[in-house]
Homo-oligomer: A and B are copies of this chain.
Amino acid sequence: MQAPDDVSAGSKRCDAARNRARLLEAARHLVDDLGAEQMTMEAVAKEAGVGKGTLFRRFGDRDGLLRALLDEAEAEFHEAYASGPPPLGPGAPAADRLTAFGSTLISRMASDDDLGASLARQLRRRSRNASETGRAFHRHVSTLLREAGVDADHDMLAHAMLAFTTFETADHLRRECDVPTERLQATWAQLVRLVTRPD
């Protein structure tokens, strides 16, 4: 049986989640309208009708808020590769899932109207490894490498492979060297094939 104190704590947690969602909604609205560079903590607080202190307490700083927004924008992609239909989701061989994952990741990065991609591009100075999204990508790829039976340090090999899909590499090649998205996707597929083929 739940004590009255716990009910109250639970209800407070619900309030907190609602408030958090409302703050993120306000931030997303401003980013859509103005771009991430122009989003200030002051404008978000005003839009959400809260004090600036609330915003700083919840997200640390502006970067923390942008990262939270990015993690939220990535949730849909996470759903697709974690539990959606194959080959991205479960049910296909690990190598096919790896190929589908990288290919989707690269095409999302190349998309200009994907909030996750546009935020990630604007935040690219911060390492992807520092975000929950980046850690989830890494867990996913290293798990599939293990499933595919690759004889290697799966944890590190996943870092090595994902390095290709970062803005410093894939986005640089696409934007500065005019490499088409399809060639980047084909390279990922070749890398997966080379790494996962049996000895």
Closest chain B residue to A128, Cβ basis: B168
Chain A interface size, under 10 / 10 to 19 / 20 to 34 / 35 or more: 20 to 34
> Are A190 and B159 also in contact (CB < 8 A) when A127-B168, A168-B168 are?
no
Task: Check if A153 is an interface residue, CB within 8 A of chain B.
Answer: yes
Produce 1/0 per residue, A154-171, CB < 8 A to B. Answer: 001101110110101100
In the complex, residue of chain B having the shortest beta-carbon distance to the beta carbon of A150: B194
Q: Which of B129, B186, B195 contacts A172 (CB 8 A)?
A: B129
Residues on B with C-beta less than 8 A from A57 are: none
Task: Fill in one digit per residue for A1-18: 1 if any B CB lies within 8 Å of its CB, else 0.
Answer: 000000000000000000
Contact for A153 among B156, B169, B190, CB less than 8 A: B190
Contact check: which of B127, B160, B188 meets A191 at CB < 8 Å?
A: B160
CB distance from A163 to the nearest CB of B (A): 4
Main secondary structure of the interface of A (DSSP, over half): helix
Asked if A187 is at the interface of the complex by the 8 Å CB criterion, the answer is yes
Judging by beta carbons under 8 Å apart, are A152 and B184 in contact?
no
A153–B185 Cα distance when bound, in Å, is: 11
Give chain B residues whose Cβ lies under 8 Å from the Cβ of A152: 187, 190-191, 194
The answer to whether A169 touches B160 (Cβ under 8 A) is: yes
Q: Which residues of B contact A184 (CB under 8 A)?
A: 156
Chain A residues numbered 94-129 whose CB sits less than 8 Å from any CB in chain B: 125, 127, 129
- CB <8 Å contact, B197 and A195: no
Residues of B close to A172: CB separation below 8 A: 127, 129
- Please, which residues of chain B bring their CB within 8 A of the CB of A190? 152-153, 156-157
Task: Provide 7 A-B residue pairs closer than 8 Å at the C-beta atoms, listed in order of the A residue.
Answer: A127-B176, A130-B176, A150-B194, A156-B186, A163-B166, A163-B168, A166-B168
The 7 closest A-B pairs by CB, nearest first: A163-B163, A156-B187, A160-B164, A163-B169, A152-B190, A194-B195, A163-B164
